Amino acid sequence: MLSLNYVKNNSFGSSSFKRRFIIVFGVTILISILAVTFVFLKLYRLSKDSILAKWDNRTYSIANEMNYYLKLPMDAVVFSAVSLDHMLAYKLPHSAALDYLKQQTDIYCTLIKDNSTGIYAYYEGRYLDGSGWEPPSSYIPLLRPWYMDAKMAGGEIAFSEPYFDLQTSSLMLSVSKLLQDGRSVVAMDVSLEGLKDMIQENIANEFVRELFVMTSSGEVIAHSNNVKTGRNFYNEADEFDIKLLEHFRSCKEDFFSIKYRKNSYTTFTKPVINDWNVVLVLNDSELYKPLFRMYVGFAGVILLVLLLVGFIFAFLQKKYSESELLTRDTKAISDIYTAVVRVNLLTGDMKVVRGSKNLDYALGGSFKNYGGRILNFVDVIASENYAPIVREFMEPLTLEARLSKVKTVSLEYIDREGKWMRLRYFLIDRTQSGELHHVMVAFENIDEDRRQQEALRRLSETDAMTGIHNRGSGEEKIRKAMIEGKHGMFCLIDVDKFKSINDNYGHQAGDLALKAIADSLKDVFRESDIVFRLGGDEFAAFAEGVTTHEIGERILNRVFDFLEKVDIPALGDRKVTISVGASFYPKSNIDTFEAVYQRADEGTYESKKHEGNFFHFVE
């Protein structure tokens, strides 16, 4: 009997243990899947940011190359102006000025090669051309754009509007400068064909939809599509260019995304000399397709590994030991390690000034051949995304150039534990011949600084008076939500007769009214909703998931109810009322933030026609 009871009790205990184990196992697998999904989403976004940063740098490099291309003619005109001003001061004859222009033309035509026709001037009432060109009798320098633009610039460098030269069959630009006598002008014509060559060199990529240079007035100087070169996008543009131009004019950032025929395009813009802009348009579907496939593949592999680990885990009996091991591993990951290594670049020998476990592991007891062991260091200290950048930074062969004018260079990166680190090279000494001899390699933990910067960023997104989002951060969050495909109700809120509150009761009472409205909006809308102050007496809100009039009206009526209960002693019996315009997003597949804002603004206008709290929906 005792034996039977023991078996029954043991079976019951085993069954109970199995049930608990199944529950723990299932929850563990579920959490693991969610964690892996979260990590991969974060990594995917970081990778996208890295890709965008790469193309942003690419656009910046193109802009710099074009700046250099245009700066050389500018320098030629400036240097020539100095000499001609000197000649004017000493009243040297036309022949001396012409000889000088010919000499400068020979010099700069050698430097600029096929990009210029030479330097010319209007000197003491006479046209002089360094290339030897003799103008026809009908040629009047004072009426030429290069002369008139220089006069208008008043001594500053002037750029004429690009023009098509029939003689050279190329797009040209005149650079000119007024001399100190206020009448004479020196100028140079520059071919813009070189910009076309630069564009052609940078579009040989499946990700690039188009690349072009455009003036502030909308004229296209050079375009990857030759048909569009010479057009003015303000007067002649296709549907895509119109949408691109609208975003370009309204966006204050140097990159933005646009939707066109169900496709998304990322656009980078960088300024060039003479108030021009380089515009690079990338096809998002092609840009992120390899990245998406790679991460989906990795996620599948990780999930299979998790399942395999789960099955192995089912047969392990020492749960307490594994829990203790997991605790130690977690603690090891959370620890912050810093290290300093002194390197002899001539011999490759290393001396550890301050060590760490990661450094010891990378060195493996050997302190030789620093340059040949960079890969070992990178594998230990850097995350996968930052490994190529860290590897390039640690390369000792390029240190001579990087430390030629400075004593230290640094790089910030994310380590394998997800912490922000700073890697820095310090110059210690050089040999008698000037070669780098010893450098210090230092690893610094800056994760806390980064967090403080993030806190300051959040502070910059908050409206100081009301404590809700300011316009910049509010609009950014709504645009991001729309890009992510979220639907909802967008509202514009305008305080009724706010100026009279300030005029009759004082600005302090007006501030209390604004705070009361902000508090009412925060009390009614959810934490996940986006509530922000546009500025002055205007507010806005976006309620995600609210897509029907019934729910929208219920929310707005609650706002009105809260306002009815607001009691501001400084206002006496006067109540604070608002006019609301609302609209649902998206109205169609091509709906935009600007469009829903416009609809809500129309609704506010209609609400203003009614006394007291009132809202109006615009479809």
* Secondary structure of 254-298 in HEC code, one letter for each residue: CEEEEEECCEEEEEEEEEECCCEEEEEEEEHHHHHHHHHHHHHHH
Does 108 have pLDDT greater than 90? no
User: Is the confidence at residue 1, as pLDDT, over 50?
Assistant: no
Give the separation between CA 316 and CA 322, rounded to whole angstroms: 9
For tokens 């989002």, what's the residue?
Answer: 469
pLDDT bin (cut points 50, 70, 90) of residue 534 is very high
Percent of the chain, pLDDT > 70? 91
Chain-wide mean pLDDT for the chain? 84
Domain 194-287 belongs in CATH node 3.30.450.20: yes
- Region 290-306: mean pLDDT is 77
Residues 6+ apart with CB under 8 A from 120: 101, 127, 128, 129, 130, 131, 133, 186, 187, 188
Torsion of CA 460, 461, 464, 466, to 10 degrees: -170
Contact 151, 178 (CB under 8 A): yes
433 SS3 class: coil
* C-alpha 105: how far from chain center: 42
Domains 194-287 and 462-617 share a fold: no
From the list 428, 390, 395, 442, the residue with the least C-alpha distance to 411 is 390
CB 539 within 8 A of CB 517: yes
Q: Is the peptide bond before 586 cis (omega within 30 degrees of 0)?
A: yes
Rounded Cα–Cα distance for residues 337 and 445 (Å): 8
The domain locations on the chain are: 58-187, 194-287, 299-331, 337-451, 462-617
With a CB cutoff of 8 Å and minimum separation 6, the contacts of 77 are: 119, 157, 175, 176, 177, 186, 187, 188
Lookup: tokens for 344: 């002899």
Instruction: Output the CATH code of domain 462-617.
Output: 3.30.70.270
339-344: strand order across its sheet: 350-354, 339-344, 436-445, 420-430, 408-414
Instruction: Give the tens place of pLDDT for each residue, 183-242.
Output: 999 999 888 888 888 888 888 777 888 898 888 888 888 888 888 887 888 888 888 888
Judge contact between 84 and 190, C-beta under 8 A.
Answer: no
* Contact between residue 192 and residue 173 where contact means Cβ atoms under 8 Å apart: yes
CA within 13 Å, CB half, 215: 17
Fold (topology level) of 58-187: Beta-Lactamase (3.30.450)
Residues 6+ apart with CB under 8 A from 441: 340, 341, 342, 343, 394, 423, 424, 425
Whether 101 and 119 have beta carbons less than 8 Å apart is answered as yes
**Cα-only R_g, the chain:** 34
**Mutual orientation of helices 94-112 and 2-89 as an angle, nearest 10°?**
160
Is 0.85 surpassed by the pTM of this model?
no
Beta strands in 261-404 (DSSP E): 263-272, 276-283, 339-344, 350-354
CATH number belonging to domain 337-451: 3.30.450
pLDDT at residue 529, as a whole number: 94
| Per-residue model confidence (pLDDT) at position 476 | 93
Q: What is the pLDDT of residue 8?
A: 42
pLDDT at 112 (0 to 100): 67
Tokens of 54: 């790469």
What are the pLDDT digits (tens) for 156-182?
A: 999 888 877 766 677 788 899 999 999
Q: pLDDT per residue over 302-344, tens digit each?
A: 778 777 876 676 665 566 556 555 445 434 433 444 788 899 9
